[in-house]
Chains A and B, each alone.
Chain A
Amino acid sequence: MSTQPSTVFLLMVGGQIESAEFPEFDDIYCKYCFHHGPDWLITSGLEEGLTQITKKSRDDRQQFVWNFPLDITFKSTNPYGWPQLVIHAYGFNAFGSDVVRGYGVCHVPITPGRHTMRLPMFVPESSSLLQKFTSWLLISRHPEYVDPKVIAQGEGREVTRVRSQGFVTVSFNVVMKDMKKLGYDVIPSEVSTTNIPENVGMQTQTLES
Chain B
Amino acid sequence: MAEVHVIGQLVGATGFPEHSLFCKWGIHAGGAWKVLAGIREGQTQVDNPQNHDAAYWSHPIDIHFSTKGLQGWPKLHLQVWHQDSFGRNELYGYGFCHIPTSPGNHTIECPTWRPSGSFREQVSQYFLGGGPQLKNPDLIYSGADRCRLTTVAMGKVHIKLGIILRNFDKFGIEC
Give the interface of A toward B (CB within 8 A).
Answer: 23-24, 37, 78-82, 84, 104-107, 109-111, 115, 119-120, 122, 125, 151-155, 157-158, 160-165, 182-189
Query: Which residue of B43, B45, B50, B170 has the most chain A CB atoms within 10 A of its CB atom?
Result: B45
Q: How far is the CA of A9 from the CA of B31 in the complex (A)?
A: 31
B contact residues, total (Cβ < 8 Å): 46
Partner of A79, one of B7, B11, B168: B7
B5 at the A interface (CB under 8 A): yes
Give the interface of B toward A (CB within 8 A).
Answer: 5, 7-9, 11-12, 22, 36-39, 42-52, 55-56, 58-62, 64, 83, 102-105, 162-170, 174-175
Contacts of B165 in A (CB 8 A): 184-185
Partner of A158, one of B8, B12, B45, B169: B45
Contacts of B44 in A (CB 8 A): 157-158
Q: A120-B58, A188-B102 are in contact. Are A162 and B47 (CB under 8 A)?
A: yes
Instruction: Check B56 against A164 for contact (C-beta < 8 Å).
Output: yes
**Nearest-Cβ distance from residue B165 to partner chain A, whole angstroms:** 4
Instruction: Check A120 against B174 for contact (C-beta < 8 Å).
Output: no
Q: How far is the CA of A151 from the CA of B131 in the complex (A)?
A: 32
Contacts of B12 in A (CB 8 A): 120
**Nearest-Cβ distance from residue B46 to partner chain A, whole angstroms:** 5
Contacts of A164 in B (CB 8 A): 47, 49-50, 52, 55-56
Instruction: Check A163 against B49 for contact (C-beta < 8 Å).
Output: yes
Partner of B56, one of A78, A120, A125: A120
